[in-house]
């Protein structure tokens, strides 16, 4: 049977939930009359996630598994799923059941109405820390104010995309991938379905603060040059004000207006300006590092093994 819908599930150490996730997904997808596939992408898990999915693959021919050679990251895992998907539409969903699989049916009906992108909009987030909620709220607004690309607020990667959009995603070769931004950038007819984001069914978040920060920096640098502009504005303002201060100092010296040997002020000014200069260099560094990553042109991910695909081996659908 022709595959109508491919469901892509990125997983990193999800042994506690993955079996139940499969069960919930299967219940939903069995309601879809057309054929479907569920593609689990194992992003270098160090627990039993892969074995569990492999056992499922043996029993269910709709289930497929892509195994990375190591952890390449959530956004890369999603991209690999899209590369291998062969459905007329592709749904991306987290493995931890924070995104309710039942919503896929609603997404499919919107797709059948003619929308090419149906994203899940989070009305509320349950079971997440205040810190995560606030930083997420601020991040989406900051990103929105920095870029011309239309990235809907408060949406994650839980979404349905049409084959046409999936093909666009496959043609984008950039290494620092911020998938929800790329989908927004691609355009097409987009709509949303609203939902309340549940707690994780089991296990802990795979996004510690370090990964959250690098995700946010990827998002901003991939879609905005504003930090570079802000850096140069700060630079211009600071050099202007120091130039003015230079005249004040010279004026005091020439007219002998009692220049007090001010060690403290010199140290303070030095620290302040050096701090700013280093910070601005860091901003430049972020962009230069990304240029370097692109220029190396390494593959986005390395597949160690695949299970359940018709063409066994490590080749995505052309």
> Which residues bind to ligand UDP, rule: CB under 6 A?
10-12, 14, 43, 71, 73-74, 77, 94-96, 98, 205-207
Q: Which is nearer to Mg ion, 127 or 275 (CB)?
A: 127
Partners of 170 in beta bridges = none
Structural contact between residues 83 and 317, judged by C-beta atoms closer than 8 angstroms: yes
User: To the nearest whole angstrom, how small is the minimum distance from the Cβ of residue 297 to ligand UDP?
Assistant: 22
CA distance 292 to 288: 6
Pick out residues in 27-66 that bind Mg ion (CB under 5 A): none
Cβ distance to ligand UDP smaller for residue 115 or 178: 178
Residue 118 contact partner, candidates Mg ion, ligand UDP, none, CB within 5 to 8 A by sort of partner: none
Nearest approach, Cβ of 122 to Mg ion (angstroms)?
11
Return the number of the residue (74 or 110) whose C-beta is nearest ligand UDP.
Answer: 74
Minimum CB distance to ligand UDP smaller for 42 or for 224: 42
Distance, in Å, from the CA atom of 143 to the CA atom of 312, rounded to the nearest integer, reads 40
Sheet holding 117-125, edge to edge: 190-197, 117-125, 155-162, 89-92, 3-11, 35-42, 63-68, 303-307
Q: Which does 95 bind (CB under 5 to 8 A by kind): Mg ion, ligand UDP, none?
A: ligand UDP
Using N-to-C axis directions, what is the helix angle for 226-254 and 209-223, rounded to 10°?
90
CB 135 to ligand UDP: min, Å: 11
Distances (CA, A) of 284 to 28, 142, 226: 47, 19, 11
Nearer to Mg ion, 98 or 176 (CB): 98
Task: Count CB atoms within 10 A of the CB of residue 70.
Answer: 10
d(CA 118, CA 95): 19
Contact between 122 and 196 (Cβ < 8 Å): yes
Q: Which does 191 bind (CB under 5 to 8 A by kind): Mg ion, ligand UDP, none?
A: none
Least separation in angstroms between CB 134 and Mg ion: 17
User: Comparing C-alpha atoms, which of 108, 102, 103 is closest to residue 88?
Assistant: 108
Q: Which two tokens stand for residue 290?
A: 């990304």
How many residues belong to the site for Mg ion (CB under 5 A)? 2
71-100 mask for Mg ion (x: CB under 5 A)?
-------------------------x-x--
State the minimum distance, in angstroms, from the CB of residue 78 to ligand UDP: 8
The answer to whether 66 and 80 are in contact (CB under 8 A) is yes
Shortest spacing between CB 302 and Mg ion, in angstroms: 25
- Shortest spacing between CB 267 and ligand UDP, in angstroms: 43
Question: Using CB distances below 5 to 8 A depending on partner kind, what does residue 54 bind out of Mg ion, ligand UDP, none?
Answer: none
Burial of 33 (0-12, 13-18, 19+ CB in 10 A): exposed
Q: How far is the CB of 248 from ligand UDP (least distance, A)?
A: 51
Q: Which is nearer to Mg ion, 99 or 162 (CB)?
A: 99
Give the residue with the Cβ less far from Mg ion, 3 or 202.
Answer: 202
Closest by CA to 198, choosing from 13, 2, 20, 1, is 20
Q: CA-CA distances (angstroms) from residue 217 to 7, 170, 213, 222, 223?
A: 28, 22, 6, 8, 10
Per partner kind, with CB cut-offs from 5 to 8 A, the member of ligand UDP, Mg ion, none near residue 207 is ligand UDP
The binder of 110, among Mg ion, ligand UDP, none, by C-beta within 5 to 8 A per type, is: none
- Pick 46 or 253: Cβ nearer ligand UDP: 46
């Amino acid at each position: 049977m022709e595959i109508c819908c491919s469901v892509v599930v990125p997983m990193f150490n999800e042994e506690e939930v993955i079996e139940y996730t499969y069960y919930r997904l299967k219940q939903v997808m069995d309601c879809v009359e057309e054929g479907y596939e569920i593609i689990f992408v194992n992003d270098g898990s160090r627990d039993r996630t892969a074995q569990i999915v492999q056992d499922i693959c043996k029993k269910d021919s709709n289930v497929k598994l892509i195994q990375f050679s190591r952890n390449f990251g959530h956004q890369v895992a999603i991209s690999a799923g899209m590369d291998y998907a062969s459905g007329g539409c592709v749904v991306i969903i987290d493995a931890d059941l924070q995104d309710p699989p039942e919503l896929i049916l609603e997404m499919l009906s919107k797709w059948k109405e003619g929308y090419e992108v149906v994203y899940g909009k989070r009305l509320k987030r349950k079971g997440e820390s205040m810190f995560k909620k606030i930083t997420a709220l601020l991040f989406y607004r900051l990103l929105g104010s920095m870029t011309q690309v239309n990235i809907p607020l408060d949406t994650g990667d839980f979404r349905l995309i049409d084959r046409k959009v999936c093909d666009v995603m496959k043609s984008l070769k950039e290494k620092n991938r911020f998938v929800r931004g790329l989908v927004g950038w691609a355009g097409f007819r987009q709509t949303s379905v609203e939902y309340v984001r549940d707690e994780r069914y089991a296990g802990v978040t795979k996004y510690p603060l370090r990964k959250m920060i690098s995700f946010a920096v990827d998002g901003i640098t991939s879609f905005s040059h504003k930090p570079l502009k802000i850096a140069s504005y700060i630079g211009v303002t600071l050099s202007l004000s120091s130039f003015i201060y230079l005249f004040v100092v010279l004026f005091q010296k020439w007219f002998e207006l009692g220049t007090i040997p001010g060690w403290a002020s010199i140290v303070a000014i030095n620290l302040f300006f050096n701090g700013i200069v280093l910070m601005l260099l860091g901003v430049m560094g972020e962009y230069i590092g990304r240029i370097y990553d692109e220029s190396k042109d390494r593959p986005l991910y390395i597949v160690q093994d695949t299970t359940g695909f018709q063409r066994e081996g490590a080749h995505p659908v052309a």
